[in-house]
Amino acid sequence: MCGIIAHLATDDAVNGLIEGLDRLEYRGYDSAGIAVSDGSDLSVYKRAGEISDLKSDLSAAPLTGKIGIGHTRWSTHGPPTDENAHPHTGDRERVAVVHNGVVENHRRLRKQLRADGHEFTSETDTEVIPHLIEEYLEAGDSPEMAFRRTVDDLEGGNAVAAVFEDEARIFASRDGSPLVVGIDDDEYYLASDVPAFLEHTSDVIYLEDGDVVIVEPDQLRILDPDGSSVKRSHETVDWDPEEAGKGAFNHYMLKEINEQPTSLTNTVRGRIDAEQEIVFEELDTGIFDGIEEVHFVGCGTSHHASLYSARLMSRAGICARAFRASEYVETSGPISEKTLVIAVTQSGETADTLAALREATNRGAPTLAVTNVMESTAAREADETVFIRAGPEIGVAATKTFTSQAVTLALLSQKIAGELPQATLREDLPELLEALARIPEDVQQVIDQNQAAELARDLLTYDAYFFIGRGSSLPVALEGALKFKEITYEHAEGFASGQLKHGPLALVTPNTPVFSLFTGEEIEKTITNAKEAQTRGADIIGIGSADSPGQSVSDAYLEIPATHPVCESLLANVQLQLISYHTADLLGRSIDKPRNLAKSVTVG
């Protein structure tokens, strides 16, 4: 996820661009830049680092211009360096471009452009865009035609904004990535999100996929993919600018829960090709040669995602174990060059996980980081890295990063199973891949049902809250309990459902509801365990599909769409995220910054 802004001003566009970037910082913050023009020469300044770094450089060496574009980056293709920062220009520097999304066919386009003599200066997918535009300009196209033909050539979900040399216009397009127009009398804004310009105007036009916008000093034109002018309606946004980073949501956590269909689309995009092969283009699969066992290390939510993946690997016949990173040194047992150690860490900075990663390296194991942050310490120190592509997460409680971790690790587990001779591929792999590709829509359906808000009202007066699951659903039961205790401050515990009668059942009373995951492959056994709790007076809150036999034993039921058994618990997890959120909200808790907790735990 990145943030883009464009501004056509009556005097100078730079302040509007910088303010917009500040407001979009939640979308990415590892590099930033702007390009401005007065309708003649283009001036570009960009750098790795935070927007505050860009601002201080620009106050020492100001740029001016009535039209401009800006970008704040969250790296996906190429690390955060000055060269990879946006805006990007072509060889002839006739156009500057900012972009949000992924150009899925960038390799093919780059190859073709190279063959035509273009030289690239960055590792980004974005850089093909200005080169393509210049190619069309050289062939005699007008700027408008060159821009339209270029965006038409791009595959994937993309939003693009461009300014040209000798042009007092801004060109932009939306196709699968957000872009919204703001109109402030004679001034115009274009941005990934409304907060970028809300200080100036609440008059907005939401563009549709396939729209191209041309902003000129006295008019705004919107063209459909055929080049015909179209009208899009104006809307008035009534958000408080101070709170607008959260959009229409009261908390970042709720916003991030609702973002999951988008973050998961980014997570799976390009990972399953047309031949149903699993693709991790950033990964050298040579790292799997000779591997006999897999160790996962991670903390908290990342440990739960690891447990989920380790179960999938075990099922494929791989010796796989998930360790709490803080316990790794004491409990790992022998490690060798045949042990693949996978560090799972959203931030890539968790001290305990880094310590386990270093321990593995020191003991000769090949290492792989699965992280959300390019250039994080884990990404830099591990031999190989896979990115979960969830975009920045601001709420302390991990939500969208958990689902992106789990889906990435589900794919990785099947990829590894395909690489190791001792493993067997699932017979139902095509169905599983289909379900993983469909997960963004299924999650959207859970969010749209909106059942959890209602149920949360009945949950405020209990003594404690238990979560049970089995097999691939146990990690989600543990995650459900962690999320619940973390933001409600109520006592919550997750148990393997088959372990209830070995101790925890002593805690069960009519005052302890039991969230029961009727998901995955052994639902009948969990039903038996849930009934054991129900007999002791506990209310059973079941989570499962409409046709799950668990529904009939449940006192309340949260429904999920029918899917592959391996994916069911991931959908149930979204219901549990929403239950935790709404309960905490009704209890008036500090949801985005729970007491005593921090987003990144950099001390061991």
Q: What is the contact surface with ligand F6R in residues (CB under 6 A)?
A: 299-302, 345-347, 350, 353, 397-398, 482, 486, 600-601
Distance CA 102, CA 268 (A): 12
Which one, 263 or 554, has the nearer CB to ligand F6R? 263
Distance CA 580, CA 485 (A): 8
Closest residue to ligand F6R using C-beta atoms: 300
Q: How far is the CB of 532 from ligand F6R (least distance, A)?
A: 29
Which one, 51 or 344, has the nearer CB to ligand F6R? 344
Which one, 332 or 346, has the nearer CB to ligand F6R? 346
Which residues lie across from 385 on neighbouring strands? 369
Half-sphere exposure for 548 (CA within 13 Å, toward CB): 33
Distance CA 537, CA 557 (A): 17
Based on the residue annotation, tell me whether 599 is a catalytic residue of this protein.
yes
Which one, 133 or 343, has the nearer CB to ligand F6R? 343
Q: How far is the CB of 397 from ligand F6R (least distance, A)?
A: 4
Give me the catalytic one of 55, 338, 593, 599.
599
The DSSP secondary-structure symbol of 358 reads H
Distance CA 343, CA 382 (A): 8
Distance of CA 429 to the CA centre of its chain: 24
Q: How far is the CB of 199 from ligand F6R (least distance, A)?
A: 32
Which one, 192 or 367, has the nearer CB to ligand F6R? 367
Q: How far is the CB of 376 from ligand F6R (least distance, A)?
A: 9
Q: How far is the CB of 596 from ligand F6R (least distance, A)?
A: 12
Give me the catalytic one of 2, 46, 400, 415.
2
Which one, 18 or 253, has the nearer CB to ligand F6R? 253
Strands of the sheet with 492-496, listed across from one edge: 492-496, 465-469, 514-517, 540-545, 556-560
Which one, 374 or 527, has the nearer CB to ligand F6R? 374
Which one, 162 or 370, has the nearer CB to ligand F6R? 370
Q: Using alpha carbons, list the distances in angstroms from residue 344 to 80, 321, 348, 531.
A: 21, 13, 8, 35
Based on the residue annotation, tell me whether 593 is a catalytic residue of this protein.
no
Which one, 76 or 371, has the nearer CB to ligand F6R? 371
Q: Using alpha carbons, list the distances in angstroms from residue 137 to 6, 11, 43, 92.
A: 22, 29, 19, 11
Amino acid at 250: N
DSSP conformation letters of 4-44: EEEEE-SS-SHHHHHHHHHHTGGG--SEEEEEEESSS-EEE
Q: Report helix, strand or coil for 360.
A: helix
Q: How far is the CB of 451 from ligand F6R (least distance, A)?
A: 22
Q: Are strands 514-517 and 465-469 parallel, antiparallel or unpaired?
A: parallel
Lookup: tokens for 282: 């950033």
Backbone angles phi, psi at 182, to 5 degrees: -120, 135
Q: Are 512 and 552 in contact (CB under 8 A)?
A: no
Distance CA 111, CA 95 (A): 20
Which residues lie across from 216 on neighbouring strands? 219
DSSP conformation letters of 111-166: HHHHHTT----SS-STTHHHHHHHHHHHTT--HHHHHHHHHHH--SSEEEEEEETT
Distance CA 543, CA 509 (A): 20
Q: How far is the CB of 5 from ligand F6R (least distance, A)?
A: 29
Q: Using alpha carbons, list the distances in angstroms from residue 455 to 482, 483, 486, 556, 588.
A: 19, 17, 19, 8, 16
Which one, 347 or 403, has the nearer CB to ligand F6R? 347
Q: Are 212 and 232 in contact (CB under 8 A)?
A: no
Residues 6+ apart with CB under 8 A from 185: none
Would you name the residues annotated as active-site residues? 2, 599
